[in-house]
Amino acid sequence: MKVKETYLFRLPHGKDLLEALLEECHRRGIKVGFISVIGAVKEATIGYYDQKEREYRSRRLPQPLEITSCTGNVSLKEGEAFIHLHILLSDRDGRTYGGHLLSPTPVFAAEAWVVELEGPPPERRFDGTTGLFLWR
């Protein structure tokens, strides 16, 4: 795939991080791409996939946190744009927390870089081996 367009934008204070990114992708018609985010959140919800139980386990972090890294992609799931992000966060003491970004995660201040790609978007389909919706 080739780069079609690159977008840089600020995410609204107080808005859920995933929701804000998805709204921007819908508004701009982005169906396939790469996402990177830096900034800070008021608190966060992260998760990990329990491979044995085949379900996401979530963890709420009820404190202000820096986004030290947040990367992922945009593809299609059931015909709609879907965002899959992993995030690394740090607290005021430098402790880090990482995992799958979940909602709610309200933005304090954040900047996003979205690289839209040309070509047919990968589609997520249920994978019986893992229990996840993976690119087919």
Mean pLDDT of 35-42: 98
Distance CA 120, CA 132 (A): 21
Q: What is the pLDDT of residue 52?
A: 97
pLDDT recorded at residue 88: 98
Q: How would residue 39 be classed by pLDDT, with cut points 50, 70 and 90?
A: very high
pLDDT in tens, 49-82: 999 999 999 999 999 999 999 999 999 999 999 9
CATH fold of 3-135, please? 60s Ribosomal Protein L30; Chain: A; (3.30.1330)
Domain boundaries, the chain: 3-135
The confidence score (pLDDT) of residue 111 equals 98
Q: Is residue 30 a contact partner of residue 133, using CB atoms and an 8 Å limit?
A: no
Is residue 110 within 8 Å of residue 24, measured between CB atoms? no
Name every residue whose Cβ is closer than 8 Å to that of residue 106 and which is 6 or more positions away in sequence.
Answer: 14, 15, 16, 17, 41, 42, 43
pTM of this structure: 0.94
Q: Which pLDDT score, from 0 to 100, does residue 28 have?
A: 96
